[in-house]
């Protein structure tokens, strides 16, 4: 899992491009360097960071035992950086280090305790994170071997470790890569982004003990500074409503297939069109009620792990499998709830297409 094609970044290029076009000189500089760096990473081999950092941690003594190492990149773009906090060590007092440590632990606990999954690869994969990456770096990403978090510019974005669901989102990219290898382009890429949002938000809900009714269903709610007019980067409940700001523009996510965005940007709109499957998940979770990870989350996870899930799956392909897994695990009534959720977003399951 160390191929340059594995790069998955949280802030989409269309937001960085808006900042480059409309921001202050400092904001434009930060966004431009972030965007240029992400593009460079997509086309260059990644360093063998996993082997270097993982050697700092002892092997797992038993299944489900979390192994974390948080590193301080010290404002540079060299990975993994200096070891800052290893598994079992006390808090450091550096908020970014400690937030990353705690969030990786919460993410690991969710996958193990709720879904019975032993880390990213289901084999005890060591969780490695680097903080203080670059100067005013306006992103977080999974590079196929570890998670990386910038500090933001403090004007548009806060430090990226503030958001538990963002850290869960990035870790989930590793799970997807390990299980389904969904190609990061077009509809399969939007499913990749949506699944990362799904499990990122479920991890947050699990930590907070929130039911589907109590949750805010926002992704990145802790990232935007008070000067930005918005509640987060994405809304799973109401895609397209997360922000409407003179600098960032308006949230472009569609909530229905009739609004599907055809674009060459953002790998075919992976961060944009993910709003459609995100809303389907939300509708199903609200219909089931209770804790969203108990039924809807389990169905989506079963689907992710289904060997019949093609790595270039469309929304329709994925929808058909979720309906089948709902039926297999819970029954016909639950399958109907999931079918209805997809129909509300205009997605017709593959086997039901004429």
Count of the separate structural domains present in the chain: 2
Task: Say yes or no: 210 and 139 in one domain.
Answer: no
Task: Say yes or no: 166 and 195 in one domain.
Answer: no
* Whether the Cβ atoms of residue 94 and residue 84 lie closer than 8 Å to each other: yes
Q: Which domain holds residue 76?
A: 4-179
Task: Say yes or no: 201 and 157 in one domain.
Answer: no
Please choose, from the candidates 104, 143, 127, 139, the residue with its C-alpha nearest in 3D space to the C-alpha of residue 8: 143
Task: Say yes or no: 345 and 238 in one domain.
Answer: yes
Task: Say yes or no: 91 and 170 in one domain.
Answer: yes
Task: Say yes or no: 115 and 193 in one domain.
Answer: no
SS3 245: strand
Averaged over 54-76, what is the pLDDT?
85
**pTM (2 d.p.):** 0.94
Q: Going along the chain, which residue ranges are E strands?
A: 8-9, 68-72, 82-86, 127-131, 140-142, 147-149, 218-219, 234-235, 244-245, 249-250
Among the three residues 129, 159, 179, which one is the final residue of a domain in this structure? 179
Q: Which two tokens stand for residue 104?
A: 């990786």
Among the three residues 120, 150, 179, which one is the final residue of a domain in this structure? 179
Task: Say yes or no: 16 and 127 in one domain.
Answer: yes
Task: Say yes or no: 348 and 215 in one domain.
Answer: yes
Task: Say yes or no: 174 and 212 in one domain.
Answer: no
Question: What's the whole-number average pLDDT of the chain?
Answer: 92
Task: Say yes or no: 230 and 311 in one domain.
Answer: yes
SS3 20: helix
Please choose, from the candidates 21, 28, 10, the residue with its C-alpha nearest in 3D space to the C-alpha of residue 156: 28
Q: Which two tokens stand for residue 222?
A: 């802790």
Which CATH number is 253's domain given? 1.10.390.10
Task: Say yes or no: 36 and 157 in one domain.
Answer: yes
Each residue's pLDDT tens digit, 116-167: 999 999 999 999 999 999 999 999 998 888 999 999 999 999 999 999 999 9
Q: Which two tokens stand for residue 321?
A: 């499998």
Q: What percent of the chain has pLDDT over 90?
A: 86
Catalytic residues: 170, 271
Which CATH number is 122's domain given? 3.10.170.10
Each residue's pLDDT tens digit, 201-227: 999 999 999 999 999 999 999 999 999
**Band of the pLDDT at 58, cuts 50, 70, 90?**
low
Taking the C-alpha atoms of residue 67 and residue 50, their distance in angstroms, rounded to an integer, is: 13
Among the three residues 121, 156, 179, which one is the final residue of a domain in this structure? 179
Q: What percent of the chain has pLDDT over 70?
A: 91
pLDDT score for 182: 94
Task: Say yes or no: 228 and 101 in one domain.
Answer: no
């Amino acid at each position: 899992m160390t191929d340059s094609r594995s790069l998955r970044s949280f802030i989409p290029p269309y937001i960085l491009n808006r900042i480059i076009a409309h921001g202050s000189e400092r904001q434009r500089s930060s966004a431009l360097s972030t965007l240029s760096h992400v593009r460079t990473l997509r086309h260059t081999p990644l360093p063998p960071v996993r082997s270097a950092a993982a050697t700092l941690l002892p092997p797992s003594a038993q299944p489900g035992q979390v192994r974390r190492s948080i590193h301080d990149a010290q404002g540079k773009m060299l990975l993994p950086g200096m070891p800052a906090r290893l598994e079992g060590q006390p808090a450091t007092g550096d908020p970014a280090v400690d937030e990353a440590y705690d969030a990786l632990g919460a993410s690991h606990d969710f996958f193990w305790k709720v879904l019975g999954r032993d880390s990213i690869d289901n084999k005890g994969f060591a969780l490695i994170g680097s903080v203080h990456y670059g100067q005013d770096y306006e992103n977080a990403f999974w590079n196929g071997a570890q998670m990386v978090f910038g500090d933001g510019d403090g004007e548009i974005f806060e430090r990226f470790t503030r958001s538990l669901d963002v850290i869960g989102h990035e870790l989930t990219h590793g799970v997807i890569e390990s299980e389904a290898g969904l190609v990061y382009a077009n509809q399969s890429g939007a499913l990749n982004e949506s699944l990362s949002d799904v499990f990122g938000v479920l991890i947050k809900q699990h930590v907070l003990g929130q039911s589907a009714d109590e949750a805010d269903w926002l992704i990145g709610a802790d990232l935007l500074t008070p000067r930005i007019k918005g509640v987060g980067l994405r809304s799973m409940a109401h895609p397209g409503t997360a922000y409407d700001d003179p600098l960032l523009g308006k949230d472009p996510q569609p909530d229905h297939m009739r609004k599907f965005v055809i674009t060459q940007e953002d790998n075919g709109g992976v961060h944009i069109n993910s709003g459609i499957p995100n809303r389907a998940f939300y509708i199903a979770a609200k219909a089931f009620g209770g804790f969203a990870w108990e039924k809807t989350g389990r169905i989506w996870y079963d689907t992710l792990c289904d060997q019949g899930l093609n790595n270039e799956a469309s929304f329709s392909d994925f929808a058909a499998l979720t309906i089948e897994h709902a039926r297999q695990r819970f029954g016909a009534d639950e399958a109907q709830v999931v079918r209805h959720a997809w129909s509300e977003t205009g997605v017709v399951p593959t086997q039901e297409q004429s």
